[in-house]
Amino acid sequence: MTKAELVSIISKRTGVERQVVLTTVESFMEEVKNSLEKGENVHLRGFGSFVVKRRAQKTGRILAQNTTIIIPAHDVPAFKPADTFVDKVKNRPASGGQQ
């Protein structure tokens, strides 16, 4: 599902104008990004949490040059779904290969 499809579905379900829904969705995404940039996690009860994860320093390889490099420790954004959300996805009927 794309952002445009999501906005369209929400607009139809709620009766709210499509442009208002688009602005709301984009504002939500911007606030999540701003919070994560500041190192603040975003928790949505029953849905999941947008969190900042710390990746440890590690050794990597550049295969084309056959050399090793040190990849420094760094932060990455991640999403951790709520247990109830995970249970619903696990217990859904098979979809025939669709994602």
Over the stretch 18-30, which tens digit does the pLDDT of each residue have? 999 999 999 999 9
The whole-number pLDDT of residue 96 equals 59
Q: How many domains does the chain have?
A: 1
* pLDDT higher than threshold 90 for residue 14: yes
Angle at the Cα of 27 from the Cα atoms of 52 and 86, rounded to 5 degrees? 50
- What H or E segment, with its residue span, contains residue 52? strand 48-55
The whole-number pLDDT of residue 99 equals 53
Q: Considering only CA atoms, which of 52, 47, 53 is closest in space to residue 33?
A: 52
* Residue range(s) defining the domain that contains residue 50: 3-90
The whole-number pLDDT of residue 93 equals 83
The whole-number pLDDT of residue 74 equals 95
Is residue 35 situated within a structural domain? Answer: yes
What confidence tier does 13 reach under pLDDT thresholds 50, 70, 90?
very high
Is residue 97 situated within a structural domain? Answer: no
Question: What span, in angstroms and rounded, lies between the C-alpha atoms of 31 and 67?
Answer: 40
Any residues with CB less than 8 A from the CB of 86 and at least 6 apart, and which?
none
Is residue 9 situated within a structural domain? Answer: yes
The CATH number of the domain holding residue 69 is 4.10.520.10
46-97: pLDDT as tens digits: 999 999 999 999 999 999 999 999 999 999 999 999 999 999 999 888 765 5
Any residues with CB less than 8 A from the CB of 5 and at least 6 apart, and which?
none
Pseudo-torsion of CA 13, 2, 50, 34, nearest 10°?
Answer: -100
Is residue 34 situated within a structural domain? Answer: yes
